[in-house]
Structure 1
Amino acid sequence: MMIILNFLKKNTVSIGRFVICCSIVMFSVAGEVLGQVKAKRDKPNIVFLISEDNSKHFMKLFDPNGVETPNIEKMLQSGLLYPNAFSNAPVCSVARSTLISGTLTTRTGMYLHRKIKLAPMPEGLEMFPAYLRKAGYYTTNNYKKDYNAVENENVWDNSSNKATWQNRPEKNQPFFHQETFHESHESRLHFSNDVMANHKVTDDPAQVFLFPQFPNTPLFRYTVAYHRDKIREIDAWIGKKIDELAVSGELENTFIFYFGDHGGVLPGSKGYLFETGLNVPLVVRIPENYKHLSPYKPKEKPQAFVSFIDFAPTVLHLAGLEVPEQMDGSPFLGQGLKKANLESRDETYGHADRFDEKYEMLRSIRKGKWKYIRSYQPYYPDGLQNNYRYKMMAFASWKDLYKEGQLNTEQAAFFREKPVERLYNLEDDPYEINNLAGEEKEVLKELRDRLNTWMMEKNDLGFFPENILVNRALGDPVAFGIKHHDKIKQLIEIADWATEDWMKVKDNVLEMVQDGDELEKYWAYSVACTFGEEVEPDYHKFPDFKNEAVPIVQLSAITLSGRVGATNPMPALIEWLNQSKDPVANLIALNTLVYFKDHTLYGTNFNSDNLQLLAENEEVIRRLKYLDGTW
């Protein structure tokens, strides 16, 4: 012992070096062992990094007019870029309900933004993190959820603004973590004139690219430049999150999905079925230890179409878990998938319905380069009042310029009636300006039929007015849809009369409004409303709307009276509203009232004091505040 102590006294420096060397060797060996342990894990970690409200059109990775995003681009060194990734709906709560459930929300009752009443999860199906948790994953969410479905307690280990995968109790436990970047949200563009005057943006507003439907004004240009800075903030956040995984040693064990929660925040994107509302950026970083789970090589750009119904099945498949039959999508990463099969996927379906207080039912299908949009109330303009949207100065100025007659045809289309059917060749027309529905008849029919087949197979609940959905269907929406499958098929057929000439379908419409049940009548009146003034010569053959006993049918009949120009519908609408005891039906009626007030001559002498509603909800109050000027 004395010999050892004397040696240590005389060789302090040498011993120090020896200890350091030993430590390095020990840590190196430990690191190798730890790496082997991680590599041998059965299940990879999975992280969703989600940015709010941005389509792919603002990132140079996806669009030549976009912003450089070096951190996201760096993910491609060992990752994949998906140019054809889509939200199935262009707004937060519906998109996020799709992601968490793996279901098409028009089938499961979660498709209206925002929910008036929560839908239950389909019988036998759980939100997908619950399956991961049962399989041993630590599941965390930081922190936005915004689901239109009832959430059970077994979904997350922690969901809060402090939730992190780093708090898992066992360091070798696999984790699923979801985190949302909020600074790109629509509300960040609700700035004032003072911000415009004092906040300098990175890009010269005079040089930024404007979508062709936008007016070329300093305000629009500044708004675009401001949003581009938010894209840069997204990129910095992504870099920070990847660094956290790298420092912890978990980077090469973790699949990282970066994507937007739906399309962009600029006017006409969020909430609408254009590509700027649906086509999201998606980059997936493939970890070295699990690269065998990708059918693609690093830096590839899969052309496969993937949409939000596919994300939950993909996560479960990557984790080696069975995908529940109730989910509507298919995995696009994981064991056993073939690249050739994935690359054959070239279809995606979209839907838009109530958007806060604004109603309109639209459906879309994209197949390859072709995009088909079906409008079921095309007389409602896209620019119909929606209070939250019009808090953005650029949005409000767009409407003002329209009223002043300062917009060209492309820019003004947002505030005018739409065609029942629109068809776009996205290779030639990426911003969906030139409607080819009248020219490409074969393509139009093929996509219409595909869309109808999809809606019938998925029992699309959008064919039931929301008051009926809330009062009759939300106990079990899936079962309700199955029970009424034949009725949905019939309603789709009735609604499609609007794609024909009036003279061809008028007898069918007249027969249905006379003898149909409430839903048949509702949709027959809706078809007639689509034709508008074309119906006027035959309007005397329709029942007097005063004799319609079912309130929602009577509302459609009143709408038709105004659409054909037979009478001022405003007094009848106000009387209808003042008698109704159903707040959801009132919201539908107020949508029609705002349309007639703002977009026809009938609103000239409107007085909000005449409205004395018996039933309200939050969305009804939004409408009332707009109508009395207090919004």
Structure 2
Amino acid sequence: MIKYIQELSIISILTIILLAPASSCSQDKNRIEKPNIVWITSEDNSKHYLKMFDDNGISTPNIESLAEHGIVFHRAFSNAPVCSVARSAIISGIYGPKIAAQYHRKIATVPMPDSILMFPAYLREAGYYTTNNSKEDYNIIKGDSVWDESSRKASWRNRSEEQPFFHVFNIHNTHEGELHFTKKEMESNPTKTDENSFKIQPNHPDTKTFRYSNALYRDKIQEMDAKVGEVINELKKDDLLENTFIFYFGDHGGILPGSKGYLYETGLHVPLVIHVPKKYEHLGNVKKRSMIKGMVSFIDLAPTVLNLAGAQIPEGLDGKAFLGENIDLEEVDTRDETFSYADRFDEKYDQIRAIRKGKFKYIRNYQPFNYDGIMNNYRYKQLAYQEWQSLYEEGKLNDIQSAFFKDREPEMLFDIESDPFETKNLIDDPKYHDISNDMRQRLNKWVKQMPDLSFFPEHFLIENAIDNPVEYGRLHIDQIHKYIDISNLCLSKFKNVKQQVITSLTSEDPWERYWGLITCSNFREDAKSLESIIQAIAHNDPENLNRVRAAEYLGITKREDPSAIMTTALYNSKKPAEALLILNSIVLMQSNKYSYKFELQLNNISANLIKNRDIKSRLEFLNIL
């Protein structure tokens, strides 16, 4: 018996000795075999100008090489058409209007929701070395757990030996500022791209300026492609290519007029190509070049990378992984829905939401009187924007080219396959009634489920929701739903909803009155029977913005000159976001469309406001700074 026990002990010890190294090796193997992931992002590139996505585009051989053993996503979308808002969706995995990260540029940063971190933090927990070279540009408070390194010198080479890494490399060559050339520069610096080698899109005038802008942009895209090649070569040099997923994508839409900053396909539809290393084919379900026409968007990037890395995917993300364990590319290829949003762009305000489903795009313009072409200083540094506006004012554009400077419809429906530049609104066509009704319902469900915080004015969110926007939205969801319902009254005949509009205008809730006024501006002359109520609000409402919105209605319908009311409201304002919204209305009212005269005095504007860069832009445009 003693001998048996001794033999058993020896066997047990040997078992422990033999198994321990095996377990350790297994752990090392698992650690080493995690794939590296590299993102190469280029600024301001929609898919429309790359030949691999569009016949009218330019060749990009280095990006094309990634597809040789990889996946081309033909329907990839940014959720917003500008960098800080798009990048906030990427880094958080959450829709911007849900967490108050939807404004560009931020006046105040917002926190991540409780219990959720920016996704690279989960990669670090899983053993990854995370680096960013080097643009962040988030509207969200970053925290210390996101990057091991974030700078122009950040590199995967500083990681521990055999440590897997996630690396982001940002390419600036195609940024909008690259088209801020002068007429003299245009005349003296010919482009490499032949100015007659492409078609001008139908909503643009076919002029020398637009052809030069198109050609120069294509030159910049080829410069960007060369930078992509440099990153690929660095990975080859370090013998890492066959261990590394490489994502290439544009960070939102392009820089030609009406793209960046606008919720059209040229502002949202981005190129996405992913190189899948052969040893990780099981994670990408690809053995050769694959084409995916299913819809993916930036909101899906965080869960996708976490899934590829085998890292924790936290509850509460809005996106859905499209690569990695347990992902079937055939299922991904069936995905056919994506959402997008647009609010403030620098000093220019708007509020638009959109859904793309299959070949159809539905756009909901909540303030359609804020036409696309309202002055935005940074946009109008481009000669093409300036020329576009001048040609419109001279009456030299056709209807499609003129649409940028005219009021939009509250609802727009486009067939993207037959009308890729969204020039023919199908919303009133009886043939598309069922489609538009379905998409309207889907979009309403989405904005209500978030819930969409933009139904409160930005300054109010800064004052009341900034510490925990998600919780604020949860606690005030019934109010937000009511504001959404009021905003949608304009989609009915006025006579059928008149009493509901009156109820909103006479509510004790200031933001019900606010949305009731916007609804009246959308109805225009149809709401003239409510003029006395609106005039009373314009002169007596305790809320500064409501007096402005009421004056805006009176100005739009030519009932009363809005300049005195709006000027007084600006002088009374001490909040940058509120003042910006007032200035947006002032710029609209003094535009050639309405031509009201404003005599603003700089000394009467709060000194605190003038420190804000976007307010400075507005005041410079109005020639009072």
Shorter chain as normaliser: what TM range?
A: over 0.9
> For residues 449-500 of structure 1, what are the alpha-carbon distances to aligned partners after superposition, in whole Å with 9 as ceiling and x for unaligned?
0001011111111111111111111110010111111111111111110111
Q: Which runs of 5+ in 1 are unaligned?
A: 1-36
Counterpart Cα distance in 1 of 2:443 and 2:257:
27
Contact 1:112 1:355 in 2 (8 A): yes
CA distance in 1 between partners of 2:592 and 2:435 (Å): 33
Give me the whole-angstrom Cα distance separating, in 2, the residues matched to 1:543 and 1:589. 17
**SS at 1:82's partner residue?**
strand
Equivalent AA in structure 2 for residue 75 of structure 1: L
Question: Match for residue 77 of structure 1?
Answer: 68
CA deviation vs aligned residue, 1:229-288 (integer Å, no higher than 9, x gap): 111112111111111111211001000000000000111000111000000000000011
Aligned to 2:8: none
1:265 aligns with 2:265: no
Write the letter of the residue equivalent to 2:503: E
With 202-211 and 462-471 compared, the bigger mean Cα shift is at 202-211
Aligned residue among 600, 622, 627 for 2:617? 622
TM normalised by structure 1 equals 0.92
- 2:453 alignment partner in structure 1: 461
Residue 267 (structure 2) aligned to one of 273, 277, 281: 277
Q: Which residue of structure 2 lines up, in the alignment, with residue 498 of structure 1?
A: 490
- Residue among 541, 551, 561 paired with 2:554: 561
Task: Measure how far apart 1:543 and its partner are.
Answer: 5.2
Alignment check: 8 A CA contact 1:39 1:289 kept:
no
* Aligned-partner residue type, residue 386 of structure 1: N
SS in 2 for 1:281: strand
Aligned to 2:55: 64
What is the aligned partner in structure 1 of residue 198 from structure 2?
208
Q: Percent identity?
A: 44
Give the structure 1 partner of residue 467 of structure 2. Answer: 475
Which of residues 423, 435, 440 in structure 2 aligns to 1:448? 440
Q: Structure 2 CA distance, aligned partners of 1:297 and 1:194?
A: 51
Map of 2:4 onto structure 1: none
Contact 1:352/1:361 (8 A) holds in 2: yes
**Alpha-carbon separation, structure 2, partners of 1:528 and 1:421:** 16
Tell me how large the CA RMSD over aligned residues is.
1.5
DSSP-derived class of the 1:302 partner: strand
**CA deviation map 1:289-335 (0-9, x unaligned):** 21110134421111121000100100000000121112110100001
Deviation per CA, 1:88-134: give whole Å up to 9, x if none. Answer: 00000000011111111110111100000000111111111111112
Contact 2:122 2:312 in 1 (8 A): no
Once the two structures are superposed, the pairs formed by residues 347-362 of structure 1 within 5 Å of their partners are 347-362=337-352
Corresponding residue of 1:585: 578
Range 155-164 or range 259-268, more displaced: 155-164
Give the Cα–Cα distance (whole angstroms) in 1 for the partners of residues 166 and 233 of structure 2.
Answer: 17
Task: Give the alignment partner of residue 377 of structure 2, picking from 366, 387, 400.
Answer: 387
Equivalent in 336, 344, 366 of residue 334 of structure 2? 344
Distance, in Å, in 2 between the alignment partners of 1:39 and 1:260 is 32
Contact 1:310 1:331 in 2 (8 A): yes
Question: Which of 83, 86, 94 is the aligned partner of 1:95?
Answer: 86
Q: Which residue of 1 aligns with 2:516?
A: 524
Which residue among 105, 108, 126 is the counterpart of 1:135?
A: 126
CA distance in 2, matches of 1:465, 1:393: 33
> Is 1:43–2:34 an aligned residue pair?
yes
1:252 aligns with 2:245: no
**Which residue is 1:415 aligned to?**
405
**Counterpart position of 2:527:** 535
The answer to whether the 8 Å contact 2:567/2:600 transfers is no
Who is 1:52 aligned against?
A: 43
DSSP-derived class of the 1:407 partner? coil
Q: Residues of 2 paired with 1:454 and 1:81: CA distance?
A: 28
* 8 Å Cα contact 1:107-1:461 kept in structure 2: yes
- 1:24 is matched with none
Partner in structure 1 of residue 225 of structure 2: 235
The code of the aligned residue for 1:592 comes to: S
Counterparts of 1:391-406 in structure 2, within 5 Å, are 391-406=381-396
* Aligned-pair CA distance for 1:339: 2.6
Matching residue of 2:15: none
Check whether the contact 2:600–2:624 (CA below 8 A) recurs between aligned residues: no
Shift of 1:377: 0.5
- 2:588 maps to amino acid: Y
Preserved contact between residue 535 and residue 551 of structure 2 (Cα < 8 Å) = no
What is the deviation of 1:552? 2.1
Higher alpha-carbon deviation: 483-492 or 306-315: 483-492
* Partner Cα separation in structure 2 for residue 318 and residue 306 of structure 1: 16
1:306 equivalenced with 2:296 (yes/no):
yes
SS at match of 2:402: helix
Contact kept? 2:90, 2:298, Cα under 8 Å: yes
| Counterpart position of 2:22 | none
Give the C-alpha shift of residue 550 in structure 1. 1.7
Match of 1:157 in 2: 148
Q: TM-score, normalised on structure 2?
A: 0.92
CA distance in 1, matches of 2:87, 2:40: 13
On the 8 A contact 1:81/1:302 being kept in 2, the answer is yes
SS at the partner of 1:67?
Answer: coil
Label 1:234 to 1:372 Cα distance change in 2 as closer, same or farther (>3 A): same
Residue 311 of structure 2 aligns with which residue? 321
What is the distance in 1 between the residues matched to 2:37 and 2:500? 54
Paired residue secondary structure (1:50): strand
Q: CA deviation at 1:394?
A: 0.7
The CA distance in 2 between the partners of 1:353 and 1:423, in whole Å, is 20
Measured after TM superposition, the shift of residue 343 of structure 1 is 2.0
In 1, distance between residues paired with 2:133 and 2:314? 25
Q: Distance in 1 between matches of 2:616 and 2:60?
A: 41
Cα distance in 1 for partners of 2:603, 2:172 equals: 38
Which consecutive unaligned segments of at least 5 residues does structure 2 have? 1-27
The residue type equivalent to 2:306 in the other structure is: L
What is the CA–CA distance in structure 2 between the aligned matches of 1:308 and 1:441, rounded to whole Å?
Answer: 30
Check the 8 A contact 1:514/1:543 in 2, yes or no: no
Return the alpha-carbon distance in structure 1 between the equivalents of residues 400 and 98 of structure 2: 34
The residue matched to 2:506 in structure 1 has which SS? helix
- Deviates most, 577-586 or 60-69: 577-586
Deviation at 1:612, TM superposition (A): 2.0
Q: Is the 8 A contact 1:141 1:158 kept in 2?
A: yes
- 1:176-199 CA-to-partner distances (Å, cap 9, x unmatched) read 000110010000100112221221
Contact 1:528 1:535 in 2 (8 A): yes
* Structure 1: distance between partners of 2:144 and 2:360: 42
C-alpha distance in structure 2 between counterparts of 1:338 and 1:619, whole Å: 46
Hey, what does 1:374 align to over in structure 2?
A: 364
Instruction: State how far apart, in whole Å, the 1-side matches of 2:235 and 2:500 are.
Output: 63
| Distance in structure 2 (CA, Å) of the matches to 1:416 and 1:513 | 27
Once superposed, which parts of structure 1, at least 4 consecutive aligned residues long, lie more than 3 Å away?
37-40, 599-602, 608-611
Deviations 1:55-87 (A, max 9, x none): 000001000111111111111111100010000
| Alignment correspondent of 2:476 | 484
